[in-house]
């Protein structure tokens, strides 16, 4: 059985959480919402958006952005996700029968979706859209470099030795989002006026974007241009890479377990219309086996393997544990999801473990792919709906054959889990 433990890092206490009872105490404690020191390595890229901020700023931004993920908004996003799913299938038509390295293809899909839903623009129609795609990965590259080498944790050392390497790419990404925001602000001002715009009117827009919520908040004096840029960059980064890694592992698992893939396919035939242009959230919600397959992929391959928090003030947990001020907590989600205390034969892939009858009695914090508590992922419903939509389109058109042995996968952990070797599959057209 895996147990939580304490280590020491740079003279500071680090509580490593591997069990669900302790994870619950951390996730539900209102004093423990400040991110760990490593997150500051993302600050040059993301500023103090929703991922990075804390206290009053975080509470205010969370409250402001929550309506952007209302069910009515997800309904508006349906057409965008379906359009991009069709484009993905068309690209795979050109690759069918050949081994396909999933990374770039899936990342293009998720980045295009988040760009159009967050910003309201199509990357392929922007002059510098390709440059944006090429350079947004710098957010993670710079973070992982600092995480890997402790001497770079010191700001003055990082600024002297490394920062200059990433500045040109950061400028491209920030200039792109800032330029889109400026153009959207002009368009927004023409369409809506602060004294007469209601949230309902915003939701009725055919192509609603997260940016509409932010521009509405700007009209009300709740956020400025710099704040909008922070949130846009945060959602672009958080919304494309985590989802793409989950989809990559899910497609790999579909290829490795053909009988389960067939179950997913038969369920899609039974529960969705043959005309995928009518595919909607209601039909997707009926795909219970596909959802469990996705959940099991996220259990075994958590896209965010760890979450770190700072203990700002001395904090007592309900089990009597006292955490000293300026100590740290690391919740090891990857290990928590493979803890045999909560999951029988945890290294076996089994979607049926998420059936209602098999979930009875399981600790509610044993499975937290989208984090949990106050700082859970604000976009988790959107992510699930996006991933299901793409998988329906793929499975309707292709059988997925294996091109990699999961036993040979070598993981490299940063802010997002990745594999050192490429994850490949083959798409074969269904007869």
Which residues belong to the annotated binding site for heme? Answer: 377
How many whole angstroms separate alpha carbon 305 and alpha carbon 303?
Answer: 6
How many whole angstroms separate alpha carbon 343 and alpha carbon 362?
Answer: 8
The answer to whether residues 36 and 329 touch, using CB atoms and an 8 Å cutoff, is yes
For residue 418, the surrounding DSSP H or E stretch is: strand 417-419
How many whole angstroms separate alpha carbon 339 and alpha carbon 16?
Answer: 14
φ, ψ of residue 323 to 5 degrees: the values are: -95, 120
How many whole angstroms separate alpha carbon 4 and alpha carbon 299?
Answer: 19
Q: Write out the DSSP string of 127-171.
A: TTHHHHHHHTTHHHHHHHHHHH-GGGGSHHHHHHHTHHHHHHHHH
- 128 Cβ partners below 8 Å, 6+ apart? 172, 176
**Which segments are annotated as binding site?**
377
Question: What are the tokens at 409?
Answer: 């996968």
The answer to whether residues 384 and 279 touch, using CB atoms and an 8 Å cutoff, is no
Question: What are the tokens at 303?
Answer: 């896209």
- Return the closest-CA partner of residue 211 out of 232, 183, 240: 232
The answer to whether residues 135 and 173 touch, using CB atoms and an 8 Å cutoff, is yes
The answer to whether residues 382 and 376 touch, using CB atoms and an 8 Å cutoff, is no
What pairing do the DSSP bridges indicate for beta strands 322-323 and 315-316? antiparallel
The answer to whether residues 52 and 43 touch, using CB atoms and an 8 Å cutoff, is yes
Helix/strand/coil percent split, the chain, to 5: 60, 10, 30
How many whole angstroms separate alpha carbon 37 and alpha carbon 138?
Answer: 19
Partners of 426 in the β-ladder: 99, 401
DSSP 8-state assignment for residue 346: T
Task: Return the ∠ at Cα 281 (arms to 388 and 122), rounded to 5°.
Answer: 70
Residue whose pair of structure tokens reads 């090429």 in the numeric block: 134
- Return the closest-CA partner of residue 184 out of 232, 124, 222: 232
């Amino acid at each position: 059985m895996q147990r939580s433990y304490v280590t020491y890092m740079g003279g500071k206490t680090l509580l490593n959480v591997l069990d669900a009872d302790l994870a619950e105490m951390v996730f539900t404690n209102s004093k423990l919402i400040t991110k760990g020191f490593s997150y500051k390595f993302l600050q040059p890229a993301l500023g103090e958006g929703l991922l990075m901020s804390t206290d009053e700023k975080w509470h205010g931004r969370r409250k402001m952005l929550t309506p952007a993920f209302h069910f009515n908004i997800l309904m508006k996003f349906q057409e965008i996700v379906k359009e991009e799913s069709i484009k993905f299938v068309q690209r795979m038509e050109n690759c069918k029968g050949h081994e396909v390295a999933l990374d770039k293809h899936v990342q293009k899909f998720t980045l295009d979706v988040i760009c159009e839903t967050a910003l309201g623009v199509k990357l392929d129609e922007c002059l510098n859209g390709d440059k944006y795609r090429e350079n947004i990965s710098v957010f993670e590259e710079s973070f992982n470099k600092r995480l890997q080498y402790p001497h770079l944790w010191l700001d003055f050392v990082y600024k002297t030795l490394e920062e200059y390497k990433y500045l040109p790419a950061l400028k491209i990404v920030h200039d792109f989002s800032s330029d889109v925001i400026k153009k959207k602000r002009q368009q927004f001002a023409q369409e809506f006026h602060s004294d007469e715009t209601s949230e309902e009117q915003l939701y009725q827009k055919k192509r609603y974007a997260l940016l509409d919520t932010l521009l509405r908040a700007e009209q009300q004096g709740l956020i400025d241009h710099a704040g909008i840029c922070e949130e846009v960059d945060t959602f672009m980064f958080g919304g494309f890479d985590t989802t793409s890694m989950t989809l990559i592992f899910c497609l790999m698992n579909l290829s490795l377990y053909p009988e389960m893939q067939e179950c997913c396919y038969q369920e899609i035939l039974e529960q969705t219309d043959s005309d995928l242009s009518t595919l909607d959230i209601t039909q997707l919600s009926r795909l219970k086996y596909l959802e469990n397959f996705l959940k099991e992929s996220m259990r075994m391959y958590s896209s965010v393997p760890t979450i770190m928090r700072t203990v700002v003030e001395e904090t007592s947990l309900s089990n009597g544990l006292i955490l000293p001020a300026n100590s740290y907590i690391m919740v090891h989600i990857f290990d928590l999801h493979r803890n045999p205390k909560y999951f029988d034969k945890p290294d076996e892939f089994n979607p049926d473990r998420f059936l209602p009858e098999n979930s009875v009695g399981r600790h509610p914090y044993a499975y937290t792919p989208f984090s949990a508590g106050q700082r859970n992922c604000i976009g988790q419903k959107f992510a699930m709906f996006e991933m299901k939509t793409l998988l329906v389109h793929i499975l309707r058109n292709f059988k997925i054959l294996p091109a990699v042995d999961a036993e040979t996968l070598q993981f490299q952990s940063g802010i997002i889990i990745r594999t050192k070797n490429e994850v490949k599959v083959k798409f074969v057209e269904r007869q």
